[in-house]
Amino acid sequence: MSDIDTKATDAKPSNFIRHIIDDELAANKFARRTWSGAPGPAAQQKVGAGDTAKIRTRFPPEPNGYLHFGHAKSICLNFGLARDYGGVCHLRFDDTNPEKEEQEYVDSIIDAVSWLGWSWGDHLYQASNYFQWMYDFAEKLIESGHAYVDSQSADEMRANRGTLTEAGKNSPFRDRTPAENLDLFRRMKAGEFADGTHILRAKIDMASGNINLRDPAIYRIRKATHHNTGDTWCIYPMYTYAHPIEDALENITHSICTLEFEDQRPFYDWLLNTLAELGCIDQPVPRQIEFARLNLSYVVLSKRKLIQLVEEKHVDGWDDPRLPTLVGARRRGFTPEGFRRFADMIGVAKSDSWIDFSVLEDCMREHLNETAPRRIAVLDPVKLIIDNYPEGQEEECLAPNHPQKPDWGKRPVPLSKELWIEREDFIETPPKGYFRLFPGNMVRLRYGFVVKCIGCDKDAAGHITAVHCDYMPDSKSGTPGADTYKVKGNIHWVSAKHAYATEVRHYDRLFAVEAPGSGGRDFLEDINPNSKQVITAQLEAALKDAVAEERFQFERHGYFVADRVDSKAGAPVFNRAVTLKDSWSKK
């Protein structure tokens, strides 16, 4: 996949899926799939004919919601395997369910996977384009006695399915002849029957210890319009029937899914092996491999809950920077590289576990630390007046763009008589160990001069309105005199008359507890009331020119991004992506 512009991190992840693939490749299991042109059954799409892909994986989202952080794990896993093994990864819309699926979701999924830096080349597929194959295969199963039309009511079917400890009972319709079944199935397709009156089931074993093998439903009547196929169909395949066929038709070698599908694997194998025996598809059939889904503390990843948060307006839409959606993360200032680093770091395991949200934040911090230029921002401003600095005078100080990357250079920042500093950098009567501004103390104005605090102004309520100081003209950073003053405090500032005042949003975790909704609570009760704070900040003048999605470190504060929705040319607003240090672990 040479078109992927991203590199894996240096350490190649090793995991049980990679071990499986290594062994299979060593045994030449997928020889056929190198596509020397060997003919297969006509039904099988010749996906990849002529290419030399060694393996084929797929990411198969159902377009019924926005992608979230859990999907990012699956995306990085599937596309990452394809990249590392000289394979291809398909993006497939698993759109076999006529309800709930919308173009808006299709578009957002395409954007999100691309944003993460992955490319599917020509391999974008839609499962609904395979409906005819799925239907034809169902007829083949019927003709060969592997499927039958059941006409029990839903209640009867449930009652006869049995339990984990008790075998199920055969349906009275189980012994219909293939001719009878075919006739009924065709009439189901022709729209002769109402929803729920008949269903097509695989004929396997009602006494199986695995409930999924007790004659699972494979086609149902559903008189609904589909977003791709319109009203062509009024019967639709069940997910468990459709998915293996989609994989087979696309010549997928490894069908990687989350653990809850483990019990479905015997049916996956039964179906594909039966279809292969019937000559519908080619051998070797795809192999299903399950891995542990991502569970992330302080986050909900259930589509139903995410939809509820958006629809009930607990957040400002799907791309709210607090949501664990990929559009939200993008607006928040999280980076694709951070997500890939995270995926590599957490690895892939066979049993469920929880990952602390701080692990993801650390991955973002690491990447942002390497890539975000430094800027100065005063987020809770109070005036600092340099009494002995000449009125009307100004000069430039030089601030490095990245402390560890001298080659990124320095930029001029203007200094004048009145500055903005952080309110918390002055305390009139300081506690022990406070080294910043208080009357009589000296601090360095970062990249500028040493100043000595001489007092403050207050309003009638005793609120501090300005801090006063004198500066030492021979103490400018980068000049020979700079070292003659020994000070313990070092504070940032922006020149008041040059500053760019703008909106800054402080985003924090959306939920205040590790496991939202645990202990029987409504998960909405666990929303962090302080997850969004909007302030007006005083920023260094150069930040006025930031373009949407440009990311910076605001020194001493954290990483911020120019919001991609609300920023205007010459008037960006900023979102906090992540603080410099984790402030949650100690709580």
Q: Please tell me whether residue 258 binds ligand ATP under the rule CB under 6 A.
A: yes
Selected from 1, 33, 57, 70, the binder of ligand ATP by CB under 6 A is: 70
| Among 43-51, 54-62, 139-147, 325-333, the segment contacting ligand ATP (CB under 6 A) | 54-62
Among candidates 541, 545, 552, which has minimal Cα distance to 575? 552
Strand partners, 568: 571
| Among 3-11, 69-77, 244-252, 375-383, the segment contacting ligand ATP (CB under 6 A) | 69-77
- CA distance linking residue 230 with residue 100, whole number of Å: 14
Q: Which of residues 167-206 bind ligand ATP (CB under 6 A)?
A: none
Q: Residue 158 CB, nearest distance to ligand ATP (Å)? A: 21
Is 293 in the active site?
yes
Measure Cα distances from 458 to 427, 463, 506, 536, 554 in Å: 13, 5, 28, 21, 28
Q: Please tell me whether residue 316 binds ligand ATP under the rule CB under 6 A.
A: no
Selected from 56, 71, 476, 557, the binder of ligand ATP by CB under 6 A is: 71
Looking at the Cβ atoms of 74 and 575, the one nearer to ligand ATP is: 74
Strand partners, 282: none
What is the per-residue DSSP string for 392-433? Answer: T-EEEEEEES-TT-GGG-EEEEEEESEEEEEGGGB-SSPPTT
Of 293, 374, 446, 544, catalytic: 293
Is 303 in the active site?
yes
N-terminal to C-terminal alpha carbon distance within the chain: 44
Residue 102, Cβ neighbours under 10 Å: how many? 13
| Among 56-64, 434-442, 444-452, 535-543, the segment contacting ligand ATP (CB under 6 A) | 56-64
Task: Supply 243's token pair.
Answer: 């998915």
Q: How far is CA 434 from the centre of its chain?
A: 41
Looking at the Cβ atoms of 285 and 326, the one nearer to ligand ATP is: 326
For 217, what's the count of Cα atoms within 13 Å in the CB-facing half-sphere?
20
Q: Which of residues 324-343 bind ligand ATP (CB under 6 A)?
A: none
Q: Please tell me whether residue 61 binds ligand ATP under the rule CB under 6 A.
A: yes
| Among 60-68, 157-165, 186-194, 398-406, the segment contacting ligand ATP (CB under 6 A) | 60-68
- CA distance linking residue 18 with residue 513, whole number of Å: 35
Is 532 in the active site?
no
Report strand pairing: 558-562 vs 551-554: antiparallel
Question: Which regions of 203-265 does DSSP assign to beta strands (E)?
Answer: 217-221, 235-237, 254-258
Site string for ligand ATP, 271-310 (x = CB under 6 A): ----------------------xx------x-x-------
Among candidates 399, 442, 446, which has minimal Cα distance to 543? 399
Looking at the Cβ atoms of 99 and 424, the one nearer to ligand ATP is: 99
Task: Supply 549's token pair.
Answer: 């999605």
SS3 category, 211: helix
| Among 29-37, 55-63, 466-474, 531-539, the segment contacting ligand ATP (CB under 6 A) | 55-63
Q: Residue 198 CB, nearest distance to ligand ATP (Å)? A: 26
Q: Please tell me whether residue 73 binds ligand ATP under the rule CB under 6 A.
A: yes
Q: Residue 65 CB, nearest distance to ligand ATP (Å)? A: 7
Q: Residue 129 CB, nearest distance to ligand ATP (Å)? A: 18
Q: Residue 531 CB, nearest distance to ligand ATP (Å)? A: 21
* Position with the least CB separation from ligand ATP: 70
Among candidates 75, 76, 74, 30, which has minimal Cα distance to 53? 30
Instruction: Please identify every residue annotated as catalytic.
Output: 62, 293, 303
